[in-house]
Amino acid sequence: MTTDAFLFWFLALVTFISALGVVVFANPIFSALSLVMTMVTVAALFATLNAFFLAGVQLIVYAGAVMVLFVMVLMLFDLHKEKKAFTQGAFSGSVKLLLGGLLAGLIVGAVSMSKELYKAISDQAVTNSATGIESTKALGQLLFTQYIFSFEVLGILLLVIAIGVVALARSKGGTHVK
Amino acid sequence: MLNEAWIEPGLNHYLMLSAIIFSLGLLGVLLRKNAIVMLMSIELMLNAVNLTFVAFSKYSGNINGQVMVFFVMTIAAAEAAVGLAIVASIFKRFKEVNIRFFEHLKG
Amino acid sequence: MGSDIVEIGINGIKLVLIFLMMVQAVPILVWVERRGSAFIQNRLGPNRVGPLGLLQLLADAVKFLTKEEFVPAKGVPFLYYMAPIFALVPGAVAFSAIPMATPLLIDRFELFGQMWGPYTILFQGYEIGVGVVFVLGISSLATYSILMAGWGSGNKYSLLGALRASAQIISYELALGLSIVGVLLLNGSFNFGEIIAAQQGPLAFTFIGHTVTVPFLPNWGVFYQPIGALLFLTACFAESNRLPFDLAEGEAELVAGFHVEYGGFKMLLFFIGEYGHMIVGSSMFIALFLGGYHFPFPGITPEVLRYYATELGYGPQGVSIFTALILFLSFFVKLALLLWFFIWVRWTLPRFRYDQLMDLGWKTMLPWALANTIITAIVIQISKI
Q: Inspect the interface and report whether the beta carbons of A60 and C134 lie closer than 8 Å.
A: no
Residue closest to C179 by CA, chosen among C312, C36, C251, C281: C281
Q: Which of residues 7-36 of A touch B (CB under 8 A)?
A: 8-9, 12, 15-16, 19-20, 22-23, 28, 31-32, 35
Q: Which chain C positions have a beta carbon within 8 Å of A43's beta carbon?
A: 137
- CATH number of A50's domain: 1.20.120.1200
Residue closest to C26 by CA, chosen among C83, C87, C68: C87
* Secondary structure (DSSP) of C161-191: HHHHHHHHHHHHHHHHHHHTHHHHHHHT---
Q: Inspect the interface and report whether the beta carbons of A168 and B51 lie closer than 8 Å.
A: no
Q: Inspect the interface and report whether the beta carbons of A52 and C130 lie closer than 8 Å.
A: yes
Name the residue in chain B with its Cα closest to that of A134: B63
Neighbours of C318 (CB within 10 A): 15
Query: What is the number of domains present in chain B?
Result: 1
Question: Last residue of some domain: A82, A109, A142?
Answer: A82
In sequence order, which residues have a C-beta less than 8 Å from that of residue A9 and are 6 or more positions away? B7, B9
Angle at A76 between CA A74 and CA A80, to 5 degrees: 55
The dihedral through the CA atoms of A60, A63, A66, A68 has a sign that is negative
Instruction: Please state at what angle helix A28-48 crosses helix A67-77, rounded to 10 degrees.
Output: 170
Chains that touch C (3 or more CB pairs under 8 A): A
Question: Last residue of some domain: A50, A82, A114?
Answer: A82
pLDDT tens, chain C, 385 aa long: 456 777 788 888 888 888 888 888 888 888 888 888 888 888 887 877 778 777 888 888 888 888 877 778 787 888 888 888 888 888 888 888 888 887 777 777 767 767 777 777 777 777 787 888 888 888 888 888 888 888 888 788 888 888 888 888 888 888 888 888 888 888 888 888 888 888 887 777 777 777 878 778 888 888 888 898 999 998 888 888 777 777 767 666 667 777 777 877 888 888 888 888 888 889 999 988 888 888 888 777 777 888 887 887 777 778 888 888 888 888 889 898 998 888 888 888 888 887 888 888 888 889 999 999 999 999 888 887 7
In a 13 Å sphere around the CA of A34, the CA atoms on its Cβ side amount to 21
Cβ contact B53:A44 at 8 Å: no
Cα–Cα distance measured from residue C148 to residue B81, given in angstroms and rounded to the nearest whole number: 21
The domain spans of chain C are 5-58+72-383
Residue closest to C242 by CA, chosen among C252, C230, C234: C234
Looking at the fold, whether A145 and A72 belong to one and the same domain comes out as no
Q: Inspect the interface and report whether the beta carbons of B97 and A51 lie closer than 8 Å.
A: no
Cβ contact A23:B28 at 8 Å: yes
Query: What is the number of domains present in chain A?
Result: 2
Q: Which of residues 70-89 of A touch B (CB under 8 A)?
A: 70, 73-74, 77, 79, 82, 84-87
Cα–Cα distance measured from residue C5 to residue B105, given in angstroms and rounded to the nearest whole number: 63
C145 touches chain A (CB under 8 A): no
Q: Which chain C positions have a beta carbon within 8 Å of A53's beta carbon?
A: 130, 133, 190
Is it true that the peptide bond before C244 is cis, omega within 30 degrees of 0? yes
Domain that holds residue A46: 1-82
Q: Is A102 exposed, middle or buried (0-12, 13-18, 19+ CB in 10 A)?
A: exposed
What is the pTM assigned to this prediction? 0.86
Q: Which chain C positions have a beta carbon within 8 Å of A52's beta carbon?
A: 128-130, 133-134
Cα–Cα distance measured from residue B30 to residue A101, given in angstroms and rounded to the nearest whole number: 12
- Whether A126 maps to a domain, the answer reads no
Q: Inspect the interface and report whether the beta carbons of B11 and A118 lie closer than 8 Å.
A: yes
Q: Assess whether pLDDT exceeds 80 at residue A173.
A: no
Cβ contact B35:B102 at 8 Å: yes
Looking at the fold, whether A76 and A4 belong to one and the same domain comes out as yes
Distance of CA A4 to the CA centre of its chain: 22
Cα–Cα distance measured from residue B55 to residue C191, given in angstroms and rounded to the nearest whole number: 24
In this structure, what are the phi and psi dihedrals at residue C260, rounded to the nearest 5 degrees?
Answer: -60, -45
Q: Which chain B positions have a beta carbon within 8 Å of A42's beta carbon?
A: 47, 50-51
User: What are the tens digits of pLDDT across the range B38-68?
Assistant: 889 999 999 999 999 988 888 877 788 888 8
Q: Which amino acid is at A4?
A: D
- CATH number of B76's domain: 1.10.287.3510
Domain that holds residue B90: 4-105
- Whether A50 maps to a domain, the answer reads yes
Q: How far is B103 from chain A (nearest CA, A)?
A: 16
